[in-house]
Amino acid sequence: MFAAARNAVRRQRLVQYMLALTGAVEPKPYYHKVERRVNPLNLVICQPICCYMSTLHQYIMLLSPQAERNWEAICEVLEDVLDDQSHKQLFALEIGSGTGQHVIRFAQKLPFVTWQPSDIKEECLDSIKAYIAATQVKTVLQPVLLDASEHWDKWAGVSRNSCDVIIAINLLQYSSFKTAQGVISGAGQILKPNGLLITYGVYAVNGIITPSCNEVLDEELRKLNPEWGLPDLDVLRQQAYGNGLRLERM
């Protein structure tokens, strides 16, 4: 009974979140199957993927509790590192945009940045389109299909030296090392001089994962997919150096 009550409260909060984000009327709920998810607190949980059919257009808006929780903290970092460039119009590529919640929030908080969202999944591209249509944000371009494991010249929506910022949120942990290599090598080509590659997630350092909850997270990710797991920061640093990038801060 208590679990059911908590789920009902969680669903209501998600509805309120979407209404606050879009200003839309309360939509009709649409539920997908229960899947295994790992949340940013490093706890493995089972939860429904909550989706809502927008009343404004034909696409389904996906809702991620993770994105709802962490977008503000990530946005604060973006505001900090981009503050000295806020007088200019910047161009940013988000790799692995997922539901679209992050990029919409970033656009609302950072109006001087034009955002190019991307993802490898069609359902995510549709969700991003739904958020763009519902919020009517002017600085988010239509999403593009992008596989970061491919060579950068196959990436749609970008060209050499075209990006001021590239951001990837919880992508490297849920991808193969080939994807991490692709992100870094691509960034070395499409970032402008003094551009920034920003990643968000949990990392190993010199092969060591701490605290123990992150060890559990790494194990669970590798159970889901042997190619997934916490990337090693020092390995990424070496990859970055080989592609003309250097670690600025973490």
CA distance 221 to 235: 19
Amino acid occupying residue 150 = E
pLDDT in 10s for each residue of the chain, 250 residues: 444 555 555 556 655 655 666 555 444 443 333 333 333 333 332 333 344 444 445 578 999 998 999 999 999 999 999 999 999 999 999 999 999 999 999 999 999 999 999 999 999 999 999 999 999 999 999 999 999 999 999 999 899 999 999 999 999 999 999 999 999 999 999 999 999 999 999 999 999 999 999 999 999 999 999 999 999 999 999 999 999 999 988 8
List the CATH number of the domain containing 157: 3.40.50.150
CA distance 50 to 62: 7
| 45 in any annotated domain | no
Beta bridge partners, 200, equal 169
CB 233 within 8 A of CB 205: yes
| 47 in any annotated domain | no
Q: Which domain holds residue 148?
A: 16-37+54-247
**CA distance to 77, 188, 197, 237, per residue, from 250 (Å):** 10, 19, 12, 12
| 226 in any annotated domain | yes
Residue 113 sits at φ, ψ, to 5 deg, of -115, 130
- Total number of domains constituting the chain: 1
